[in-house]
Amino acid sequence: MVGRAKGERRRATGSAALVAGLVLGLGACAGGGTSDAGGPASQTSTGRSTTAPSASSTSTSTSDTSSSSTSSSSTGSSSSTPSSSPSSSTSAPSPSATPRDTSLRPGDSGPRVRSLQRSLTRLGYWGGTADGTYGGLTEQAVLALQKQAGLDRDGVAGPRTLRAVADGTRPTVGAGAPDRVEIDLERQLLYVVRDGSARWAISTSTGSGETYESSYDGLAVAVTPPGTFAVGRVYDGSEVAKLGTLYRPRYFNGGIAVHGAASVPGWPASHGCARVSDPAMDLIWSQDLMPVGSTVVVR
């Protein structure tokens, strides 16, 4: 009986030790599970776990253990992914400074505008007096240069336009009568040609190509026909015609004239005449650049 009692006590002691071992094992798994889940109860404000490390990983932080558990379950590898630390992290690059806008546009004024005006005049793009104010005439001169250089026609002296000025982009014309007015339909430029070279390039707007109601022939197409012509009738004033008012017109092809207008866009927009600004028309009259009988070439 005594031997049987001692055996039962040994079995009871072994069972108690087994239960205690199971409890300790379950406690370590639960700790690892909480760290993997990243629950708020196991982390401080810095993201470092406050849970004590397990007995099998005493030299590794809880965050490293979390990375190791995730890596082992997904790849089967026993190597742990190193945690990021302040010394190894890279800060986001600071945004680069925005380049200063050097463009000049209508409404601007000052020495840079005056310098632009003088450069345009020197190159052959007429824009009136260099007064340091970016007004309508400067915009028209910039438009003329943009047309010559094949740039966007917006009248704003942006980087590409300023580069064209700096590069010395001049108006050019082909062969023809040494003294003439030449109208380039593609570029929408009117050239005053003297001795075979372009003295001035002036922005113009010719026939739009659209259909309109004519008081003479019913429906008509707004075109400026190409060819070689001569200046005929002129009118020194604002002539009211059936399709609008023409400022100081100089006719060279029937009812088609070079005349001043309030609107001279960078594209074809007229009924067939060649529009220029009113001040440009005053220049043509004051210097007699289109005398009666002189040659006008439309290309």
pLDDT grade for 95, boundaries at 50, 70 and 90: low
CA distance 122 to 168: 9
- Asked if residues 54 and 33 have their Cβ atoms less than 8 Å apart, the reply is no
Residue 184 zone, left/alpha/beta (φ > 0; ψ -120 to 50; rest) = beta
Position 50 scores a pLDDT of 37
Mean pLDDT of all residues in the chain? 78
**What Rg value do the Cα atoms of the chain yield, rounded?**
43
The helices-and-strands tally (H runs, E runs) of the chain is 6, 11
Contacts of 91 (CB under 8 A, 6+ apart): none
| pTM of structure | 0.67
Mean pLDDT of 174-197: 97
CA distance 80 to 60: 10
Question: Distances in Å between the alpha carbon of 42 and those of 38, 39, 179, 278?
Answer: 7, 6, 92, 81
Asked whether the predicted pLDDT for residue 35 surpasses 90, the reply is: no
% of the chain exceeding 70 in pLDDT: 66
- Asked if residues 269 and 143 have their Cβ atoms less than 8 Å apart, the reply is no
pLDDT tens readout for residues 248-275:
999 999 999 999 999 999 999 999 999 9
CA distance 52 to 35: 10
135 SS3 class = coil
* 155 vs 11 pLDDT, higher one: 155
Mean pLDDT of 32-53: 36
pLDDT grade for 115, boundaries at 50, 70 and 90: very high
pLDDT tens readout for residues 191-205:
999 999 999 999 999
**What is the residue-wise DSSP string for 69-91?**
HHHHHHH---PPPPPP-TTT--P
